[in-house]
Amino acid sequence: MNPALQGLMTIIIGVGGCVAYFYFSNQFLDKVLLPAKGANAGRNINRANLIRPWLFLFPAIVALGLYLAYPVVATLWYSVTDRNQGGAFVGFANYQRMMAEPKFWEALRNNMLWLIIVPAASTAFGLLAAQLTDRIKWGAFAKSLIFMPMAISFVGASVIFKLIYDTRPVDQNQIGALNALWLQFDGGIGSFLILRLLPGALMIFAAALALFMAYTNAQAIRDKGFSANAALRAVLIAILGYVVYATLGLAYGAFTNVHPYGEPQTWMTIPGWNSFLLMVVLIWIQTGFAMVILSAALRGIPEETIEAAIVDGANPFQVFFKIKMPQIAGTIVVVWTTITLVVLKVFDIVFAMTNGQWETQVLANYMFDKLFRASDWGVGSASAMVIMLLVSPILVWNVYNARKEMR
């Protein structure tokens, strides 16, 4: 049968079936099972109203249970059994095999980098874009253009950026924008300013920022004493410490690295740079999302607080960092966690651009590789559980907030 026709039939059967289910099950409940008339009318109505919610919920519960809840349990089970031994329980053997693979550690390390850089950069660019576009007349138009990549598939974006990173032999015209730009640098004063001073200064600035955040968190622990919150802050300080160390290392590298000027680079095969260039794709996509949410939050700030600050003599930067930022901190956390979730599941970009070669592997692609190319369900499921483990703090936090809100 023609798939289009089959699709149409499925829509009719699926949607019609759903509607028919809801309609007839309600009719059955009201007319046949517990009719609202006769001697027991009152009791029947009450009973029908007890059952009805479950009629409404039934398809959703079945779908959620079968397609999301059951797989979590099943994957957990696969990760501790061996398919080749007929599904015998093997304890942590799969996890041990996974830990022994350097590719897994590479994926985990890259994922950590993605987890820090992509949400940070997307949120920062989004905040910048939101703040800037809110002040100008054609801001809505500018916003929709920055927001546009959101509609583009990861695969489409990969093709777009592959064209940018394209490399041609040295004697041909470069058709990749990045190489064309790169060949403009010749080691002169311009190259020093843009390739050494600018990134070096940015990295030092980032290190200073992280150090400052770590310092304020440390002060908060000292002031408020130890609690669950303090433990979280301690973890944060440890992460920030690593960030300071890493950014200072990068700053040192920015000033000392020897650049091969005048040679077109095959960007996708340079370890370190290639992962970063893949992250650029996701940052490009996610910035629009961050911008839209943060822009709404910025507009929600009460005018009086800003006016009061201006009357007191605050300059625009003080207004932004001391008045606006604290008021949208909650939204920034939401944006950050949402992008974090996207990052953890990122698969298409790596799959389409490098397929994990040249040290660009990430967990989701590693897992796909294990499941469908190596047919190793044990290790594949184990790595899926690692992703689940990384997601679970956000899961707990979301559920906690949702429950708090409902009370």
Partner 1 sequence: MDGIAGRTSALNWIVQISVVALVALWVFPTLGLLVSSFRTADQISGSGWWGAMTASEQNLTLRTANPGDDGVQMLVDGVYIVQGQLFDKGSEAAIGVWGTSSLAISEFAPGDTAELSDGETLTVQADGVYIWTSPTQMTGRGQRVFVTATTPPEFTLQNYERVLFSGDSTDGMSQAFFNTLTVTIPATIIPIVIAAFAAYALAWMDFPGRALLIAAVVGLLVVPLQLALIPLLRLHLEIGIGKGYLGTWLAHTGFGLPLAIYLLRNYMVGLPRDIIENAKVDGATDFQIFTKIILPLSFPALASFAIFQFLWTWNDLLVAKVFLIDATGETTVMTNQIVELLGTRGGNWEILATAAFVSIAVPLAVFFAMQRYLVRGLLAGSVK
Q: How far apart are CA 108 and CA 246, in angstroms?
A: 17
Using CB under 8 A as the binding rule, whether residue 317 contacts partner 1 is answered as no
Residue of 108, 277, 282, 348 interacting with partner 1 (CB under 8 A)? 348
Residue of 307, 321, 322, 325 interacting with partner 1 (CB under 8 A)? 307
CB of 225 to partner 1, least distance (A): 31
Residue of 250, 298, 377, 379 interacting with partner 1 (CB under 8 A)? 377
Give the binding range for partner 1 (CB under 8 A) out of 90-98, 105-113, 169-177, 216-224: 169-177
Q: Which 52-91 positions form the footprint of partner 1 (CB under 8 A)?
A: 52-54, 56-57, 59-61, 63-64, 66-72, 74-75, 78
CB of 371 to partner 1, least distance (A): 6
Strand partners, 89: 81
Q: Which 267-296 positions form the footprint of partner 1 (CB under 8 A)?
A: 284, 287-289, 292-293, 296
Q: How far apart are CA 125 and CA 172, in angstroms?
A: 35
Closest to partner 1 by CB, 10 or 219 = 10
Give the binding range for partner 1 (CB under 8 A) out of 23-31, 186-194, 214-222, 230-238: 23-31
Closest to partner 1 by CB, 131 or 230 = 131
Residue of 127, 343, 351, 361 interacting with partner 1 (CB under 8 A)? 351
Using CB under 8 A as the binding rule, whether residue 329 contacts partner 1 is answered as no
Give the binding range for partner 1 (CB under 8 A) out of 96-104, 225-233, 248-256, 333-341: 333-341
Residue of 90, 115, 117, 142 interacting with partner 1 (CB under 8 A)? 142
Decide the pairing of beta strands 88-89 and 81-82: antiparallel
Closest to partner 1 by CB, 61 or 238 = 61
Closest to partner 1 by CB, 81 or 217 = 81
Q: Which 234-263 positions form the footprint of partner 1 (CB under 8 A)?
A: none
CB of 406 to partner 1, least distance (A): 6
Using CB under 8 A as the binding rule, whether residue 308 contacts partner 1 is answered as no
Cβ contact 164:175 at 8 Å: no
Q: How far apart are CA 406 and CA 162, in angstroms?
A: 46
> Cα torsion at 393, 399, 400, 405 (round to 10°)?
150
Q: Which 95-134 positions form the footprint of partner 1 (CB under 8 A)?
A: 125, 128-129, 132-133
Q: What angle do CA 228, 327, 308 make, to 5 degrees?
A: 135
Q: Which 195-234 positions form the footprint of partner 1 (CB under 8 A)?
A: none
Residue of 44, 123, 166, 182 interacting with partner 1 (CB under 8 A)? 166
Give the binding range for partner 1 (CB under 8 A) out of 210-218, 247-255, 258-266, 335-343: 335-343
Query: What tokens were used for 377?
Result: 């369900």
CB of 223 to partner 1, least distance (A): 30
Residue of 127, 332, 380, 382 interacting with partner 1 (CB under 8 A)? 380
CB of 128 to partner 1, least distance (A): 7
Contacts of 167 (CB under 8 A, 6+ apart): 174, 176, 179, 264, 265, 266, 267
CB of 281 to partner 1, least distance (A): 9
